[in-house]
Every structure is written in structure tokens, then in C-alpha cells.
Amino acid sequence: MWRTKFNKDNKRSSKSIVYGRNPVLELLKADKRSVNKIMLSKTARGTTISEIINLAKQKGIAIHNILPKRLDNFSKDSQGIVAEVSSVKYVDLSDLIEKAKGSPRPLLVVLDGIEDPHNLGAIIRNCVAFGANGVIIPKWRAVGINETVAKSSAGSVEHISVSRVANINQTLNLLKKKGFWIIAGVRSDKYMLDKINLRFPIAVIVGSEGLGIHNLTRKNCDFLISIPQKSTISSLNVSCASAIILYEISKGFI
């Protein structure tokens, strides 16, 4: 899990913490951010803890063995380990696009107003699992990367670039100019996900939990796709839907 530290004047510090065994392990594996130190409970044991200790030693990161109750100052759910790291940095949109274009299969995921941090974390985990090049989130009326997102992603947030933009629809227009096709999952009978060929540079839009895809965003799409399903339920959870769409796109590339 991930948390930003504040100084005595309640101003954002330049340091954050990541806690939880899997999030700290993935942080070290990703090697994207500078880790200042690791605080480890004196009673912490297990395979994951041993792997973290070995990686930290290889990277020359200081490990402080402390009493379990001291870790409670950071979180009651630290699982016996806390890492102090530099604050998260969002990637510039133009850099994210160029990185995606340079890959064998350009795939970006655009989130249209995801407000639940657990859903965002789960979607990011899906993006990493199915080979997306990056995630684009809006600055307004949507959750950013925080400790709950990091925890829900099981550390996957350390393995993918995230860009935060002021205007989703301007971003979609830019993506089109850069050669991406814009698709979104909706309830429709026109294009079924399992019947169309998606072997081209794609930006997948994932809509918000309650409203789905906004009307203007929908108008900017090249394709509106639908997941085949029985009519016994109205819709899938947004993170489940994203997993199905990304899996279908990833076929032949995994």
C-alpha cells in the first residue's frame, strides 16, 4: 500500500511510503523509484519477507528492524513492512504515447471517471497482466494513484506508466492523430467483442462505475464494442469488464 507523508505544517512531503508485503516486493522488482529505506518488523517472517530482504541487500537499501507497534504509526495493515520512497510521478502524455507506439502491439487504457480506488487498482492489475503499455486517467472527478489503489493493484502499479490529463476528449483526439483507434465497451449488439479484429493500435476506454462512458467521450469513439453475456444481469463490474476486453485484445500477443 502507498501513502504520502506530510510535514508538521500539513504540507505534502517529497517522500511517500509503500506498505504491505506484495506492494513492497513489486516496488523493488520494478526498480522505477528510489527507495530510501525499508522498515521491517522484528517478528516478520516468510518467503516474501526473505525475498524482499535479499533484493534490498542487492540494491544497497538500508533495512531497519523495528518493533511491530512502531509500524502501526504508518498502518494497522502494514503486514510487518514499510518502505520509504520518492513520491509518485505521473508520466507525460506525449512520452506515454511514444512509448506505446514503439511497442509491437500499441495498447493504452483510458479511464473515464473511475472514482473507486479499489476498481482503479484492479484495472491497473488487469492492464499489467494483459500487456497494456500505459494508463491514462483524468485529473477531475476521478481517483488518482493513492495507497488504496497501490494495495488493490497488488503492486502492479509499479510496473506500468500512468499519465494524468486535464481533458479526456482532447486526449482522445490526440491519440487519433497519433494513429490509435478508440474503442469502448458498452451494452450494444452492433460489434460483439469476440467477433471483431482488434489487431491495430488501440486506446480502450473504460467508463465510470455508475455513469459508464460519458456522451461526448462516446462520440469520440471509433468502435463501441459489447461483451457477449446472458441477460440475467444488467452489466459486469467495471474491473471485470476491463479484464475481459483486455484479454480478448491480447490474444495472440501473450
Summarize pLDDT for 117-153 with one digit per residue, the tens: 999 999 999 999 999 999 999 988 888 887 788 888 9
The CA-atom distances, in angstroms, between 209 and each of 10, 71, 87, 110, 155 are 32, 34, 28, 14, 23
pLDDT in tens, 86-127: 666 789 999 999 999 999 889 999 999 898 999 999 999 999
Q: Where in the chain is the domain with CATH 3.30.1330.30?
A: 2-86
Task: Give the strands of the sheet with 202-207, arranged side by side.
Answer: 161-165, 134-138, 107-112, 202-207, 181-185, 223-226, 191-192
Please list the residues that pair with 161 across neighbouring strands.
134
Three-state secondary structure call for residue 244:
helix
Class of domain 2-86: alpha beta
The CA-atom distances, in angstroms, between 87 and each of 12, 36, 168, 224 are 10, 11, 24, 37
Closest CA to 29 of 217, 157, 198: 157
For position 190, what pLDDT does the model report? 63
Q: Does residue 70 have a pLDDT over 70?
A: yes
Give 214's Cβ-side CA count (13 Å radius): 14
For position 189, what pLDDT does the model report? 56
**What is the DSSP annotation of 13-79?**
EEEEEEESHHHHHHHHHH--S-EEEEEEETT--SHHHHHHHHHHHHHT-EEEEE-HHHHTTT-TT-T
Q: Does domain 93-250 have CATH number 3.40.1280.10?
A: yes
Mean pLDDT, range 239-251, rounded to an integer:
89
Q: Where in the chain is the domain with CATH 3.40.1280.10?
A: 93-250
Q: Does residue 253 have a pLDDT over 70?
A: no
For position 7, what pLDDT does the model report? 43
